[in-house]
Amino acid sequence: MVRIALVTGANKGIGLEIVRQLAEAGVQVLLGARDVGRGQAAADGLASKGLKVEAIQIDVTDGKSIATAAAAVRGRQGRLDILVNNAGIVDAEDGPPTMASPEAARRIMETNFIGTLSVTQAMLPLLRQSPAGRIVNLSSSLGSLTVNGDPTSPYYSARLIGYNASKAALNMLTVQLAAELSGTPIAVNSVSPGYVKTDLTGHTGYMTPEEGARLPVKYALLGEDAVSGRFVEPDGETPW
């Protein structure tokens, strides 16, 4: 049985690499993008190399777009085996709690947390049709309350209240959803890719997107004895 995956925000960066690596592992991948043109161009690039990839329009902040995408998957594939909630943003108006724009924090929450919650709810009936559903939430070490409070952590000074809170909220989704779905074949985990050179980081990371995609892909492809409700980074488990 060929597994079917949906990756959101996959027209570039880590998401595009997750699509490539899943397709190379034999998965049929739906490359999610909010912009049809950017999504189609990215999917065409991979499909031209013989990979089973097709574009699907999905803006995680637009309920209609999410519902249309879910209906399309229901009609064409009938189920989903893997959902990678990768779409995410930072915002130039974000910053430390004393200075950040509350509107920026709202925008970030809308995409990184509410968007992920909305997509997950819409796709859950399709994941329930899978013998082994896998949900991977692209989190960040910056979403760790422990790391944010640890002066010895290299991330201690990365004080972005909107972004960091959005990933902490995403982690709460992982914990609660994993608990709700225990006893089902669906596993849900938070995966921090590491510090990756993409548009999101202004290309300041120390990993390539290809390297950053590896751990999310590993968790997307977990076998029957899959762990669930974990928060991991390339070095191991991340403290919540």
Ligand X SMILES: NC(=O)c1ccc[n+]([C@@H]2O[C@H](COP(=O)([O-])OP(=O)(O)OC[C@H]3O[C@@H](n4cnc5c(N)ncnc54)[C@H](OP(=O)(O)O)[C@@H]3O)[C@@H](O)[C@H]2O)c1
Nearest approach, Cβ of 225 to ligand X (angstroms)? Answer: 26
Candidate list 156, 163, 206, 219, residue with the active-site label: 163
Nearest approach, Cβ of 98 to ligand X (angstroms)? Answer: 23
Nearer to ligand X, 87 or 187 (CB): 87
Positions touching ligand X (CB under 6 A) are 8-9, 11-15, 34-35, 38, 59-61, 86-89, 111, 115, 138, 140, 192-193, 195-196, 198-201, 205
Nearer to ligand X, 185 or 240 (CB): 240
Nearest approach, Cβ of 183 to ligand X (angstroms)? Answer: 28
Nearer to ligand X, 35 or 210 (CB): 35
Nearest approach, Cβ of 82 to ligand X (angstroms)? Answer: 16
Nearer to ligand X, 3 or 167 (CB): 167
Is 206 considered catalytic here? no
For the chain, give the DSSP string. ---EEEESS-SSHHHHHHHHHHHHTT-EEEEEESSHHHHHHHHHHHHTTT--EEEEE--TT-HHHHHHHHHHHHHHTS--SEEEE------TT--STTTS-HHHHHHHHIIIIIIHHHHHHHHHHHHTTSSS-EEEEE--GGG-HHHHT-TTSTTTT---HHHHHHHHHHHHHHHHHHHHTTTSS-EEEEE---SB-SGGGTT--SB-HHHHTHHHHHHHT--TT---S-EEETTEEPP-
- Which positions are catalytic? 163
